[in-house]
Amino acid sequence: RRRPFIMTGSVLFGIAIALLFINIDMPMGAKTVYFIIINALYWVTLTSCVIPHISLGSELSDDFDERTKLRSCAVALMGIGTLIATSATLVLVNFYTELFGGSETAGWAGTGITYGVVVALIYNICCIIVKDKEPKNPNLKENAVCEKHSMGESFSIFCTNAKKAFQNKALRILIIINFCVNIVVTLGGGLFVYILTYVYKYDDMKTSQVFLVQGILVILAALFAGYIANKSEKKVVMAGGVGVYALSFLLICVMPVSDITIYIVLVLYSIGNSSFWTMIYAMSYDSTIVEQIKTGDKPDGLYTSLIGLFMKFGNSLGSLAVGIGLQLVGFSADAAMQTESTVEGIRILYGVAPAAVLVIGFIVALRYPITKKKYNELLNIYNDKQAGKEIEKELLDKLI
């Protein structure tokens, strides 16, 4: 039930990526509408690949530790992909510009088409590799007739299922953590460039070096987070990671402005960021066991999509906070130099606002209920139920 979405969606996603890079000669008004439509297509097709791809991880293994290893590898490879994208794009543009007779427009178009083809190809290779490893769709019985629903009916069904999903305490906690962290991902990411430019006065070259080091550290930290989680508990890594993440922002306020401060912050930031991205979906996979026991459904896709939905809510709020925060500290985009009070305001805003939000995430993470022992007990209950055995309601209530 995952592979058809990934295989078809990835081709459309690849086309959307290519179209974002291709400049079409048309009036500015028409061009604005065109790119709004293409941008919407990009995000819809991205989602059609990402949600089933992440959900597939839950179905490839029900082992508590193996799921963590899977997500550690996924986050590490995501970091490698990010490094390639940030470092290779301009190289590709220059290559295609020279190839097509010095046309920079053709250079960007060639780069977009290359990325589109690579993304579609890699998603489809993934689908080929996992063929026959994905369980059969439990919602499709033999000779079953698929019901067709209108857009309104589909939305109503989604809302009903989402309401049922929110009754799962573990999922509610993950969504709150996810919402808080993604406010900070956008807020902190948006303000970090201002910190490097106006507080630390780094030029473009030095700023690029910082982001290169950050990318490498994120990859290493993802593997480190997975290793620690397998030696302890996922909730420990999640809570600890969010706490370290908060500390990485606070240090900008309290430590002197120096290269040493930046690189200490980068280490802590990478540990916190990677711990979150490694654990959030691994823990989401585990939380579905509650619904499996209660109803027999496997709501992996629903849980992944809800996390993605609140991720976007957090990103949107974080973007809004960047703009409002910069206005409050008196930042002027037109000024060649910012005042001392504005520069100090940027420093305080970057250090305090994200840390305050992350403290909420840290406190909530401590309340996450599913430990390795509890998950294995719930898995045994689920297997017993599948085998037709009676389930002790008192034991189940105690565990969930």
Which pLDDT score is estimated for 157?
A: 85
Which pLDDT score is estimated for 386?
A: 80
Which pLDDT score is estimated for 378?
A: 87
Which pLDDT score is estimated for 237?
A: 94
Ordered per-residue pLDDT tens for the chain, 400 residues: 788 889 999 999 999 999 999 998 889 999 999 999 999 999 999 988 999 999 888 888 888 889 889 899 989 999 899 888 888 888 999 999 999 898 999 999 999 999 999 999 999 999 999 888 777 766 666 666 667 778 888 888 888 888 888 889 999 999 999 999 999 999 998 999 999 999 999 998 898 889 889 989 999 999 999 899 888 899 999 999 999 999 999 999 999 999 999 999 999 999 999 999 999 999 999 998 888 888 777 888 889 999 999 999 999 999 999 999 999 999 988 887 889 999 999 999 999 999 999 999 999 999 999 999 998 888 888 888 888 887 766 666 666 6
Which pLDDT score is estimated for 42?
A: 94
Q: How many CB atoms lie within 10 A of CB 36?
A: 10
Which pLDDT score is estimated for 10?
A: 95
Q: Which of 241, 238, 245 is nearest to 170 (CA)?
A: 238
Which pLDDT score is estimated for 333?
A: 84
Question: CA 60, CA 355: separation in Å to the nearest integer?
Answer: 36
Q: Count, in order, helices (H) and strands (E) of the chain.
A: 13, 0
- DSSP string of 147-174, one letter each residue: PP--HHHHHHHHHHHHHHHTT-HHHHHH
Which pLDDT score is estimated for 95?
A: 93
Helices 340-365 and 300-328, axial angle in degrees (round to 10):
150
Question: CA 64, CA 230: separation in Å to the nearest integer?
Answer: 9
Residue 104's alpha-carbon distances to 32, 101, 110, 281, in angstroms, are 20, 9, 10, 40
Tokens of 297: 């459904």
User: CA 18, 22, 24, 29 torsion: positive or negative?
Assistant: positive
Which pLDDT score is estimated for 359?
A: 96
Tokens of 363: 């406190």
